[in-house]
Amino acid sequence: MGAVNLKFIKRRRQELKVSQEEMSDYLGFGGRSSYGPYELGNASFKAEHLPKLCQILKCSIKELYKEGTPLKSYTFDEMLEAVKQIIKEDTVE
């Protein structure tokens, strides 16, 4: 996926006063201990996490990446599938 700016994600989460547990719930990880490894770089965010990260952190996808890191190109179908998944999860709740 490229180099996600983990410092930005953590700083932005703290600025917005969003807990790790809230991040975990929103991303569907199932608990604070499940989200922690992602923020520490011990696990990698997947393409379907990007739109949700942007929603909760109120930022652009570009801001999620370290400066100078080329962004991975996603096909229309990959992005469409990620958006469909978000819509599906929002309608279930």
Per-residue pLDDT of the chain (93 residues; tens, 9 = 90+): 457 889 999 999 999 999 999 999 999 987 777 899 999 989 988 888 989 999 999 998 888 887 654 556 667 788 788 778 777 766 655
Residue 21 sits in a domain whose CATH number is 1.10.260.40
Q: What is the span of the domain harbouring residue 55?
A: 6-92
1 falls within a domain: no
Domain count, the chain: 1
Q: For residue 74, give Cα distances in angstroms to 8, 16, 45, 81, 82.
A: 22, 28, 14, 11, 11
- Looking at residue 90, what is its pLDDT? 64
15 falls within a domain: yes
